[in-house]
C-alpha cells in the first residue's frame, strides 16, 4: 500500500512545495507516496470561512474552533488508510526523533494537522486520538513547515526513495552517534589535505577512524545523545 500523508492546513497551496522537488518529488511523481492537502476552511460555517475565535478567558490571539477542526480531522481520517495516526504540530508537543520518524514511515502514513493562531481548542485534542509533536525548541509561525519536515524525514526512508539502502545505516542517529566527516577530491584544497587514513585503502583502519571521529563529535556537540546511546555502544 502506498504511504499517504494527509495534511490539514489553512494554506493548501504550500503543499507539496519543497517536497515536489528532488528525491521526495520524484517519489511523489512515481507514486511511492501520496499527498492529500485538505483546506481546513472548507469546514467553516460562514461566508467568511472563519475557522478561529477569541480565546475563552481573554488574552491575545485567536484559537482554532473545536467543531471545525474536528470536522476536518474526521474527513481526513475517513479518506486515509485505516490505522493512520493523527499528529498536531505544536511547539508544546513531544519532540520528534529519528525513532519516531521510523515508526511513522513503517506505518500506513500520517495525518498532519497544521495550526496557525495561538492554538487549537483543547477539547479536540482530548476528544480525538491526536498526538502533539514538536520539531524542536523554537516557535514557528504555524505547523505547515513542521509538517513538511516530518514528511521529508519519513519519505526518504520509504523503500526505493534514497538509492543506496546502506546510506541509512551510516547516517547520524542510526547508531545514536553524529556522522563522521566526509571528504572527496581534490586531495589537497587551500592547503588542507584529506586525512591520510582515508587514502590508505585499509578498510578496518578507516572504519575505526570514522568511529572515533563520530564519537568525539557526539561527545562535544551532543552530550545528551552521548549519555543516552553513544556511551553504551562504545
Nearest approach, Cβ of residue 85 and ligand ADE (Å): 15
Looking at beta carbons only, is 84 or 134 nearer to ligand ADE? Answer: 134
Strands (E), 10-47: 33-39
Looking at beta carbons only, is 50 or 94 nearer to ligand ADE? Answer: 94
Q: Which stretch binds ligand ADE (CB under 6 A): 24-32, 139-147, 151-159, 216-224?
A: 139-147
CA 102 to each of CA 99, 168, 180: distance values in angstroms, whole numbers, following the listed order = 5, 11, 22
Per-residue interface string for the shown chain with ligand ADE, residues 81-100, x marking contact by CB under 6 A: --------xxx---------
Largest Cα–Cα separation, the chain: 71
CA angle 81, 84, 88 (to 5 degrees): 135
111: Cβ–Cβ under 8 A, 6 or more apart, which residues? 6, 7, 8, 73, 76, 77, 80, 84, 85, 86, 87
Candidates 44, 66, 104, 135: give the one binding ligand ADE (CB under 6 A).
135
Q: Which stretch binds ligand ADE (CB under 6 A): 138-146, 188-196, 204-212, 220-228?
A: 138-146
| Alpha carbon of residue 62 to chain centroid | 26
Looking at beta carbons only, is 15 or 180 nearer to ligand ADE? Answer: 15
Q: Distance between CA 129 and CA 68 in Å, rounded? A: 16
Q: Which stretch binds ligand ADE (CB under 6 A): 14-22, 36-44, 129-137, 155-163?
A: 129-137
196: which 3 cell numbers?
A: 591520510
Nearest approach, Cβ of residue 210 and ligand ADE (Å): 32
Q: Which stretch binds ligand ADE (CB under 6 A): 12-20, 56-64, 134-142, 194-202?
A: 134-142
Give yes or no for a contact between 79 and 6, defined as CB atoms under 8 angstroms apart: yes
**Residue ranges binding ligand ADE (CB under 6 A):** 89-91, 134-136, 138-140, 143, 146
Amino acid at each position: 500500500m502506498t504511504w499517504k500523508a494527509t495534511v490539514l492546513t489553512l494554506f493548501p497551496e504550500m503543499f507539496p512545495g519543497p517536497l515536489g522537488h528532488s528525491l521526495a518529488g520524484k517519489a511523489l511523481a512515481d507514486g511511492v507516496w501520496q499527498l492529500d492537502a485538505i483546506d481546513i476552511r472548507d469546514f467553516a460555517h460562514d461566508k467568511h470561512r472563519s475557522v478561529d475565535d477569541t480565546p475563552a478567558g481573554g488574552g491575545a490571539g485567536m484559537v482554532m474552533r473545536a467543531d471545525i477542526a474536528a470536522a476536518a480531522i474526521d474527513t481526513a481520517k475517513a479518506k486515509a488508510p485505516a490505522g493512520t495516526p493523527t499528529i498536531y504540530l505544536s511547539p508544546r508537543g513531544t519532540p520528534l526523533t529519528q525513532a519516531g520518524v521510523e515508526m511513522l514511515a513503517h506505518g500506513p502514513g500520517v495525518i498532519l494537522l497544521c495550526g496557525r493562531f495561538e492554538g487549537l481548542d483543547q477539547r479536540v485534542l482530548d476528544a480525538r486520538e491526536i498526538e502533539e509533536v514538536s520539531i524542536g525548541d523554537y516557535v514557528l509561525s504555524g505547523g505547515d513547515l513542521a509538517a513538511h519536515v516530518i514528511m521529508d524525514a519519513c519519505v526518504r526512508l520509504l523503500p526505493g526513495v534514497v538509492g543506496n539502502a546502506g546510506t541509512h545505516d551510516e547516517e547520524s542517529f542510526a547508531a545514536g552517534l553524529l556522522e563522521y566527516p566526509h571528504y572527496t577530491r581534490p586531495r589537497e584544497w587551500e592547503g588542507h589535505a584529506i586525512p591520510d587514513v582515508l587514502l590508505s585503502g585499509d578498510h578496518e583502519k578507516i572504519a575505526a577512524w570514522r568511529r572515533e571521529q563520530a564519537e568525539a563529535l557526539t561527545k562535544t556537540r551532543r552530550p545528551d545523545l552521548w549519555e543516552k546511546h553513544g556511551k553504551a555502544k562504545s
